[in-house]
């Protein structure tokens, strides 16, 4: 646990007055305020730091204690206990009595560093008015899904703060999509409603298909003779194999569309995108003498 130089955090001198502290805090808060930097963990961390510095330096008692012990903060408790023993009649000093006077117990000191907690105790964080809350905090979670799982509406149980929450994931969910579960966040404060739970989905493609929105794309090998003479080929789709008729003289790289064989449209039951198959004609990598002879005959025919 390292000493934190709160003056350095706010970029002010040790002789800075109340107005200067406030000004420095506001300037940095405008830059790093979490509401102005959503999803930016570094800005959140920085804001906590400047908030903590402001919490200490704007409170005369805390500032006095901080200035008094400085880098010797680790001995602050011992010093104060010794002093209170000297000042109070024998037998009246209780554990932790040296830390009283910085606000009562039961305040939410969350978001403060170990250094702060160690110096001012858990009850040391006066609940500043700006950090009052009504609605509980929102929770954010990330859930990884295989593409095959995202294809079907299904249920999953996730653990949020040691509580199991069963959620229904609608088919067709997109990579990076966020869903909100109302009331599954932190309980409300002062009679306010609970926060929400936001789940961001990260879809891992465990198939040979490529997904572009609701459409799927697949490159499928096509035997040379089927491409030339036509025939039938079995092709995978997300819900099983289908038999496709291949026209004679099908070109390499040509594409066919299988209507409604793509990905389900999110929250539109029974509605699907399309599947596009790109034929990749397989040329032989080895020819027997006989085959060479026949191909030569074909070549001669063309010439």
Which of 133, 141, 160, 236 binds another protein (CB under 8 A)? It is 133
Please report, as residue ranges, which positions from 213 to 272 form the binding site for another protein (by CB under 8 A). Answer: 217
Which of 191, 286, 290, 297 binds another protein (CB under 8 A)? It is 191
Which of 1, 5, 36, 152 binds another protein (CB under 8 A)? It is 36
Cα dihedral sign for 39, 40, 41, 44? negative
Whether 165 and 159 have beta carbons less than 8 Å apart is answered as yes
Q: Does 189 bind another protein (CB under 8 A)?
A: yes
x/- binding map, residues 75-114, to another protein, per CB under 8 A?
----------------------------------------
Which of 8, 13, 35, 290 binds another protein (CB under 8 A)? It is 35
Q: Does 18 bind another protein (CB under 8 A)?
A: no
Q: Which of 112, 80, 76, 113 is nearest to 95 (CA)?
A: 80
Say how many C-beta atoms besides its own lie within 10 A of residue 124's C-beta: 25
Cα–Cα distance, 283 to 270 (Å, whole number): 39
Say how many C-beta atoms besides its own lie within 10 A of residue 61's C-beta: 14
Q: Does 186 bind another protein (CB under 8 A)?
A: no
In whole angstroms, the minimum distance from the beta carbon of 182 to another protein comes to 9
Which of 15, 19, 38, 270 binds another protein (CB under 8 A)? It is 38
**Distance (Å) of CA 220 to CA 97, 239, 270:** 77, 16, 26
Whether 145 and 169 have beta carbons less than 8 Å apart is answered as yes
Q: Which is nearer to another protein, 26 or 83 (CB)?
A: 26
**Residues in CB range of 284: below 8 A, 6 or more apart:** 224, 291
Binding site for another protein (CB under 8 A): 26, 29-30, 33, 35-36, 38, 129-130, 132-135, 138, 147, 174-176, 189-193, 196, 205, 207, 209-212, 217
């Amino acid at each position: 646990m390292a000493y934190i130089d709160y003056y350095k955090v706010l970029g002010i001198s040790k002789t800075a007055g109340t107005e200067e502290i406030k000004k420095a805090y506001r300037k940095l808060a405008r830059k790093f305020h979490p509401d102005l930097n959503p999803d930016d963990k570094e800005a959140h961390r920085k804001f906590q730091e400047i908030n903590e510095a402001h919490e200490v330096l704007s409170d005369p008692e805390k500032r006095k204690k901080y200035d008094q012990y400085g880098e010797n903060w680790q001995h602050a408790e011992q010093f104060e206990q010794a002093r209170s023993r000297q000042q109070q009649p024998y037998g009246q000093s209780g554990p932790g009595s040296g830390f009283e006077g910085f606000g009562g117990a039961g305040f939410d000191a969350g978001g403060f560093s170990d250094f702060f907690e160690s110096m001012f105790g858990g009850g040391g964080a006066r609940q500043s008015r700006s950090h009052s809350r009504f609605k509980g905090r929102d929770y954010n979670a990330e859930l990884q899904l295989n593409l095959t799982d995202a294809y079907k509406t299904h249920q999953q149980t996730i653990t949020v703060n040691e509580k199991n929450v069963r959620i229904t994931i609608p088919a067709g969910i997109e990579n990076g999509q966020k869903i909100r579960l109302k009331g599954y966040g932190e309980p409300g404060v002062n009679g306010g409603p609970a926060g929400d739970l936001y789940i961001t989905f990260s879809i891992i493609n465990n198939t040979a298909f490529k997904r572009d929105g609701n459409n799927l794309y697949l490159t499928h090998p096509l035997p040379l003779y089927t491409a030339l003479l036509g025939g039938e080929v079995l092709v995978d789709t997300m819900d099983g194999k289908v038999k496709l008729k291949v026209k004679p003289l099908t070109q390499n790289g040509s594409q066919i569309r299988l209507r409604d064989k793509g990905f389900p449209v999110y929250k539109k039951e029974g509605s699907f995108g399309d599947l596009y198959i790109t034929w990749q004609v397989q040329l032989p990598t080895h020819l027997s003498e006989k085959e060479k002879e026949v191909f030569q005959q074909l070549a001669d025919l063309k010439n």
